[in-house]
Amino acid sequence: MSSHSLLHLLQLRVLRWVALTIGAPALWACTSRALETPTVTPTQVRYHQVSGPINRNIDILFMIDDSSSMSAMQTKLQTQLPTFMNVLEGLPMVPSLHIAVVSSDMGAPSDQQASIGCSATGDDGVFFSQPEGACTATGLAPGATFISDEDNHPNFSGDIAQVFQCIALLGQGGCGFEHQLASIDRALGADGRGPAPAASAGFLRREAYLGIVLLTNEDDCSAPPETNLYSLNGGAQDLTNPLGPIANYRCNRFGHLCRDGAGPLQEPPLNPPADAKAGTMPGAMPTLALTDCEPNEAGMLTPVGRFVSDIKALKPDPDNQILVAAVAGPVTPYAVDWVQDPGQPPGQLWPQIEHACGPTSDGSFADPSVRISQFVRAFGQNGVMSSICDPSYASAMQNIAEHLIQFIQPTCVDAHLQTNSRGNPDCAVDNHLTVNGMTRDIAVPACAENGNVAPCWSLTAGGTNCAAGTLELAVSTDPNNPNPEFLSSTIECAICTPGSPGKPGSPPPGC
């Protein structure tokens, strides 16, 4: 082809690394981008390149806060779980799903264990798979610890949404020092503390996309197992204790940095303003508005960055394989209020964080989610935040599900293809294969030109997965590499640009 025949090279970089399963039949690559209608010009040829994964497996972990006051918000979530499932199950190409539920309760080791209402280790990241709430039977097969619906072989009976609802209403008896991020880390075996709990076995598929969804109305208070954050440490349960009273405010004070006006970033204060008068009653003190709050990565809590690194390390291409979503409180407003110190004379005031939203008419409320928000934002365009104070979670569940299905959209190629001298589409396909940590590119021939000997590629019209005027790419399994660690494919085709023939001459050959 002469240089004047080439209109341009358009590259859509949508690489997402995935793996193949042993013995899988034809596998499907994907991209969600629609092809732009070209401007009508004399008929010419341009090259179009798209890249994507070739599986539809999604593993979804729901972290549900089960601390006190979460009942109303869990009920709203349960009501909308069918919305979430209907989006996934309504696809023409239904995903292969794993769904698990874990609580926020990782305990709180303390020298006051009996009085703080927390055990030392809590649920320790173990999946919930027994009937919760009003249901009496989950429908899960005996011994199943999570929902699995792979290739029309479910491990449950009945409707998947009802099974999900039955295991997701965790109640509000969990530890009030929530460890949302640590619980996720432990459940997935990403925290460096050894293998994941036995209940997690088989949940994570190395080739699958990973979705993590959090429902919580307080910020993360994850601390290392050896912490003394939840103890009196020989002090008193009042403001004379260097850490302050054992209360949720410790999570804010040692987990956040904020500005007071134009001042520097610093810990939220422990003591009332110096000009507070003795005998001042609660409600008479002005609240302290703080701004620009961010996680204190050098404080007593486990750094948010460590959780981000742990989760991203689970996948070779985390930017395109992991979705993190949270239905939580907003980051602002962030204000400190003052309440009466229990058991002390009037005027002995404790600090507490005001709610960032609510309480609403249904009892929903949330404190500022500084650490949770930072965790979600670390996943860029695949980080989704919604407010837990919304009257319904329908739009949140719809949005999260739609983000997840973007991972498994098929690869659709413009049908206006130039043909080669053999009458077949003028396309080239490469597999990007990772084995033993090494990635290499392998050219894949067209099935029409090699007698359908795998691995080979084909383009099919008339399916339900691609729009009119496009073709869907299929790449068959490589028998020499039936189970690589990761695999993606790239297709580059010569596209005929519609229009009138140029003058002088005629359309390029094959158009």
pLDDT (0 to 100) of residue 24 = 33
Which CATH number fits the domain that encloses residue 220?
A: 3.40.50.410
The reply to whether 161 and 310 lie within a common domain is: yes
Domain count, the chain: 2
pLDDT in tens, 286-318: 789 999 999 999 999 999 999 999 999 998 889
Give per-residue pLDDT as tens, 384-410: 999 999 999 999 999 999 999 888 877
Residue 61 lies in a domain: yes
Indicate if the pLDDT at residue 54 is higher than 90: no
Per-residue pLDDT, 273: 73
Neighbour-count burial of 384, counting CB atoms closer than 10 A to its CB (0-12 exposed, 13-18 middle, 19+ buried): buried
Above 50 in pLDDT, residue 162?
A: yes
Distance (Å, rounded) from C-alpha 220 to C-alpha 213?
14
C-beta of residue 344 within 8 angstroms of C-beta of residue 238: yes
**Same domain (yes/no): 92, 66:** yes
The verdict on 63 and 172 lying in the same domain is: yes
Measure Cα distances from 449 to 405, 457, 511 in Å.
Answer: 33, 10, 20
pLDDT at 30: 33
Structure tokens at 411: 């690869």
Question: 394-405 vs 71-89: helix axis angle to the nearest 10?
Answer: 40
Whether 398 is in a domain gets the answer no
Residue 102 lies in a domain: yes
Q: Is residue 144 part of a domain?
A: yes
Coil, strand or helix at 284: coil
Residues 40, 171 within the same domain: no
Whether 397 is covered by a domain: the verdict is no
Whether pLDDT at 167 is above 50? yes
Distance CA 52, CA 214 (A): 27
CA dihedral 131, 137, 138, 141 (to 10 degrees): 120
With 0-12 / 13-18 / 19 or more C-beta atoms within 10 angstroms meaning exposed / middle / buried, residue 341 is: middle
Mean pLDDT of 259-273: 92
Q: Is residue 178 part of a domain?
A: yes
The per-residue DSSP string of 81-115 comes to: HHHHHHHHHTSSS--EEEEEEEES------TTHHH
Distance CA 3, CA 196 (A): 57
User: Is 341 part of any domain?
Assistant: no
Count how many Cα atoms sit within 13 Å of the Cα of residue 312 in the half-sphere of its side chain.
18
CA 310 vs CA 189, 328, 377, 403, 431: distances in Å: 9, 21, 15, 22, 28
In terms of Cβ atoms closer than 10 Å to its own Cβ (0-12, 13-18, 19+), residue 298 is: exposed
Same domain, 430 and 474: yes
Residue 349: strand pairing partners:
340
Q: Is 14 within 8 Å of 50 (Cβ atoms)?
A: yes
Q: Which amino acid is located at 162 in the chain?
A: Q
Q: Answer yes or no: are the C-beta atoms of 88 and 97 closer than 8 Å.
A: yes
Task: For strands 96-103 and 57-64, give the pairing.
Answer: parallel
Tell me: pLDDT of 32 over 50.
Answer: no
Nearest Cα to 334, choosing from 300, 274, 362, 294? Answer: 294
Q: What is the mean pLDDT of residues 252-258?
A: 98
The sign one gets for the Cα dihedral 194, 200, 201, 203 is: negative
Instruction: Convert 315-368 into a string of H (helix), E (strand) and C (coil).
Output: CCCHHHHEEEEEEECCCCCEEEEEEECCCCCCCCEEEEECCCECCCCCCCCECC
363 and 478 housed in the same domain: no
Residues linked to residue 76 through DSSP beta bridges, in sequence order: none
Maximum Cα interatomic distance, the chain, rounded to a whole number of Å: 98
What average pLDDT score do residues 5-15 get? 29
Q: What is the residue-wise DSSP string for 423-451? A: SSB-EEEEEEEEETTEEEEEEE-BHHHHT
* Euclidean distance between CA atoms 270 and 366, whole angstroms: 21
Residue 452's Cβ-count burial label (10 Å; 0-12, 13-18, 19+) is exposed
Mean predicted lDDT score pLDDT of the chain? 84
pLDDT in tens, 210-248: 999 999 999 999 999 999 999 999 999 988 899 999 999
CB atoms within 10 A of CB 307: 23
102 shares a domain with 71: yes
Domain that holds residue 139: 57-226+301-333+354-392
Residues of the chain with pLDDT > 90: what percent? 59
Q: What pLDDT, in 10s, does the model give residues 101-144?
A: 999 999 999 999 999 999 999 999 999 999 998 899 999 999 99
Q: Which of 182-186, 274-278, 337-341, 409-413 has the highest mean pLDDT?
A: 182-186
* Lowest-confidence segment of 72-86, 130-144, 486-500 by average pLDDT: 486-500
**Band (12; pLDDT cuts 50, 70, 90):** very low
502 or 387: whose pLDDT is higher?
Answer: 387
Q: How confident is the model at residue 170 (pLDDT cuts 50, 70, 90)?
A: very high
If asked whether residues 195 and 112 sit together in one domain, one would say yes
Residue 274 has pLDDT above 70, yes or no: no
Residues 32 and 69 in one domain: no
Do 48 and 61 share a domain, yes or no?
no
Residue 158: inside a domain: yes
pLDDT score for 370 = 98
Is 69 in the same domain as 151? yes
Answer yes or no: do 169 and 222 share one domain.
yes
Quote the CA–CA distance of 34 and 41 in Å, as a whole number.
Answer: 20
* Banded pLDDT at 322 (limits 50, 70, 90): very high
